[in-house]
Structure 1
């Protein structure tokens, strides 16, 4: 005997669908199937079936409906008068149904098996089997009633989640052409479900439709703002940032499955002193004296490249490396950086070892970095994350790398401060980079953390390093005059020097510098782009008040923008105002000529 609620309420014996009878008979069966194996009091049945207003003959009618149902659900060979499925109890009725006999229970069991499946193809088969049980809305005839509405909604939510799981698995298997049309329909039929939008954008991106993927995310943002008055959640924001950056984690991993750690270059031109400081800190950590370093430099100074060199040095010394990349779109995603640090390590561990690692005092950290549940934060969470780092470092010396610390979320900043003050006797080194002067989400918290770290400054590249860079770019020893000219134009800023040399070598204008400068001006905050344009236009006459007038900014806003641009090393702190690198002024002027929106002067 089988029972169906994923659609109209049905009873099956083998392959034969049995006729249940009148709508009221079907309502009694549906109400009993809501709580299989549990006694439903008669009063409750009467109240539900007649919506709180049972007529005088309701009890007699209920007994008639039950009698008719027994003719359907009891086995044909059942002894008369001794029911085994629909049973009368002193207080009411109970429908004794095995779990395997109810389609909704089978549906949920198949979903659990799919979640536990290690192989995507197995998971897809299980989800397909589960979704194949649906013939329409759950409890279709009675979903409007108070007594069925909650369960119908719950099952519908599970069905939507299963649909998204299926489509996600199709993307994981590289079946984008099959998944994208279904995702188009799903996202627009269920526009409040952000997972549908995320999967659609990911599928489009993997189908080499980057523009369409960004358009879908913009559509989702507009819908959520217009209809719900909310911003997209962290998953959508992260995906948008990853698409814009074309990060490799969005790409479908190659077919199995040997994972090789990428080779990282140890050599960083002109950064021998900084690498030596990192090497000394690693040697101390190996001996059990942990520490923390902060590589601080203006945007473009080569902080990320230096961190990759530190990573390579750690690999040579046998450290385990955990790393995170902070981002402005995730700065409000609490403990987002901590998750980036710990999740890859935990995923790589056998289940038993991972369970042991997350047990005891570390257990509160599991909610944050493994189960992805909301955390209450506070000292308990900070200490649990600290203990997790210590346990990992006790297995093998640990290096934690964090790029762009200025965009780190507050929860992770507090944890890093808690960690940095407690690792003197732990084989652990924390190395982070910060873009000098870039406005932070919580500047006070960031400065408090940075004061704990050992500061390592990154200045412009020296001449010898610039010459070596030119030799690498062009495969020949450069002319001294070329190197000197490029250094004057860029101030030795690693990014600007590299891109300027490439552009001059090709005899082209550097659009990459223009895009980079536009991005830095956006990071600098309101009014910064207009102020920079005014400085570029006025040149030798760029006195503060003249610049503020031309930019159309009140003195207070102009002063704030100037402070940000000076802190980021874009403008010098003098009078008249000047760009510290001539190539940046040229990029601003080129942006104005080309009508780049980021450079538009205020009216």
Structure 2
């Protein structure tokens, strides 16, 4: 049982205080008579002083729930009514209430993507079993069982949404755990079998249904319900209704759209998204072209790529997505595997074999076992993309090209140079200032670079109004722009965290540390030294603070400039003041104390 006030956790008090609060929460908005409350709290064995003790607990709770009202105004949250007490809090002020609202919204909608988003948010509110402290009490039993049933149903609805979106690779492992942890829930077995079937694992799907049948027979002495029996018959006959819904499995007929219906913020840079729209239209007309969004870390590259994916889906394109990572740079054809594996797994075996036959056959090794793909894989992967595009236009979206493996870079270049022959568009992002494989620059020149700058002032005002509610003081906008330099990520996180005159939002601190780590040890030490000195300083002073030789420091500073963290001109300084705050926030507390006192420090 936890209570929060203005994003800060407050101590409720003794176990008895928490029990009073929990009991009132179960009946929030309704008056609980004193005798009923006393009977529940002491489970029918109340001591003589129970009433006075209860009043003491209530007074202590009021100090926690309404500290400003104490002694000045009548309580408005924990209210005394004739014959009892009532807790007046809104549903959204209680995690269980918010969870139920989000769950209802997800259940009422028909869009699996929206349902998945709502259910992820709802399930994220759970920090453990509901009312776990009071699991042995009669008054909490019913509510505990009700909330647990809702949680289990929400988990199953979420997994169902993943399957509806074709994300079997994510759903099946979770379903394996869920079905075996809760074997009496037939819906878990049904979803597991369906996910396995759509992953081209028909035998495993039937095996899961046999396990369900065996468990129900041995433990309960019953046969599976009609849903499981129908699913088993449909799998055996390979009924077409088991395949993905048409909206996911088969691209819709392309139709012109006047405005990009992006599902993410473009921050006033819709003209950049129109480049993708032109590329998609060109692919439909047989004159395809591709695009790469280039910009400093945090410039909004990924947001524009997501918007491009949404626009492609509206136009009836099949969208295949891949995201690179430094740890996967040495995996041959890793990006190609991300692109094709989900599509192929969702297909019936006969259709998949047809796609991977003939000239495309070597692509199977790249997709299923990227360690043994032979020299013909590049051409085979090209033909695999062609065959998919023949069934409907295809968008291949690759985030963070700078960490793409060399084999996938060669395949993408091979595909882009021949993209005018087929309705295929490659849309990608690249973080400037980050070193990549030798072929990276050549591929980006083929894709057609689109440079990202800062969002316009009007877009920043709109963003602030959206995040903070209504029009904001121009001074806040000016301060946010000054501290963040108009960087899209920094600006969004800064505004979302509120007006931060002191300190730095934790999300920005983590983000800055992550990019510095990727830039290398030298860049980390140089950034810390510049942050500590914070002002015009000779290179020798920075090198001394960083414990680096001058030539080593020069290379590190050059990396930070290319990354967009340091300004190009003298003196050496951060491009955005919030970055210095973030670097300092990541330093040990004693080092930051030295900075505040002006004593200096060495990293």
TM-score normalised over the length of structure 2 = 0.55
| 1:375 match | 372
Contact 1:521 1:528 in 2 (8 A): yes
Q: Aligned pairs, how many?
A: 355
Question: Aligned pair in 2 of structure 1 residues 292, 373: CA closer, same or farther (>3 Å)?
Answer: closer
Contact 2:321 2:397 in 1 (8 A): yes
User: Matches of residues 573-588 of structure 1 in structure 2 within 5 Å?
Assistant: 573-588=568-583
Contact 1:439 1:523 in 2 (8 A): no
Q: Please give the secondary structure, in 2, of the residue aligned with 1:434.
A: strand
Counterpart of 1:430 (choices 422, 426, 432) is 426
- Note if 1:415 corresponds to 2:411: yes
1:572, 1:408 → 2: CA distance? 28
User: Matches of residues 21-420 of structure 1 in structure 2 within 5 Å?
Assistant: 171-175=176-180, 265=263, 267-369=265-367, 371-372=368-369, 374-378=371-375, 380-420=376-416
1:382, 1:437 → 2: CA distance? 28
| 1:459 match | 453
Contact 2:528 2:584 in 1 (8 A): yes
Counterpart of 2:557 (choices 531, 556, 562) is 562
Question: Aligned pair in 2 of structure 1 residues 375, 272: CA closer, same or farther (>3 Å)?
Answer: same
| 1:496 match | 490
Q: Deviations over 1:447-466 (max 9, x none)?
A: 22222210101111111111
Question: Aligned pair in 2 of structure 1 residues 448, 584: CA closer, same or farther (>3 Å)?
Answer: same
Q: Deviations over 1:504-525 (max 9, x none)?
A: 3488741111111111110111
| 1:529 match | 524
1:469, 1:455 → 2: CA distance? 26
Q: Which runs of 5+ in 2 are unaligned?
A: 1-171, 184-241, 250-260
Report the alpha carbon displacement of residue 434 of structure 1 after superposing the two structures with TM. Answer: 0.8
Report the alpha carbon displacement of residue 417 of structure 1 after superposing the two structures with TM. Answer: 1.3
2:452, 2:343 → 1: CA distance? 30
1:530, 1:555 → 2: CA distance? 13
- Note if 1:543 corresponds to 2:538: yes
Report the alpha carbon displacement of residue 481 of structure 1 after superposing the two structures with TM. Answer: 1.6
When Rg is computed on C-alpha atoms for both structures, the one with the higher figure is 1
Question: Aligned pair in 2 of structure 1 residues 499, 168: CA closer, same or farther (>3 Å)?
Answer: closer
2:406, 2:392 → 1: CA distance? 28
TM-score normalised over the length of structure 1 = 0.55
Report the alpha carbon displacement of residue 346 of structure 1 after superposing the two structures with TM. Answer: 0.9
Contact 2:265 2:303 in 1 (8 A): no
- Note if 1:473 corresponds to 2:467: yes
2:174, 2:565 → 1: CA distance? 46
Q: Please give the secondary structure, in 2, of the residue aligned with 1:498.
A: helix
Contact 2:331 2:370 in 1 (8 A): no
1:261, 1:269 → 2: CA distance? 28
| 1:589 match | 584
Q: Which runs of 5+ in 1 are unaligned?
A: 1-166, 179-255
Q: Please give the secondary structure, in 2, of the residue aligned with 1:305.
A: helix
2:244, 2:352 → 1: CA distance? 21
- Note if 1:572 corresponds to 2:562: no
- Note if 1:445 corresponds to 2:439: yes
Contact 1:534 1:542 in 2 (8 A): no
Question: Aligned pair in 2 of structure 1 residues 439, 174: CA closer, same or farther (>3 Å)?
Answer: farther
Contact 2:332 2:406 in 1 (8 A): yes
Q: Deviations over 1:111-155 (max 9, x none)?
A: xxxxxxxxxxxxxxxxxxxxxxxxxxxxxxxxxxxxxxxxxxxxx
Q: Deviations over 1:389-443 (max 9, x none)?
A: 1111111111000001111111111111111111122111100001111233x2x
1:315, 1:168 → 2: CA distance? 27
2:590, 2:421 → 1: CA distance? 56
Question: Aligned pair in 2 of structure 1 residues 586, 169: CA closer, same or farther (>3 Å)?
Answer: closer
Report the alpha carbon displacement of residue 376 of structure 1 after superposing the two structures with TM. Answer: 4.3
1:266, 1:357 → 2: CA distance? 33
Report the alpha carbon displacement of residue 544 of structure 1 after superposing the two structures with TM. Answer: 2.5
Contact 2:264 2:303 in 1 (8 A): no
Contact 1:542 1:578 in 2 (8 A): no
CA-based RMSD? 2.9
Report the alpha carbon displacement of residue 526 of structure 1 after superposing the two structures with TM. Answer: 2.1
Q: Please give the secondary structure, in 1, of the residue aligned with 2:551.
A: helix
Report the alpha carbon displacement of residue 266 of structure 1 after superposing the two structures with TM. Answer: 5.5
Contact 2:529 2:602 in 1 (8 A): no
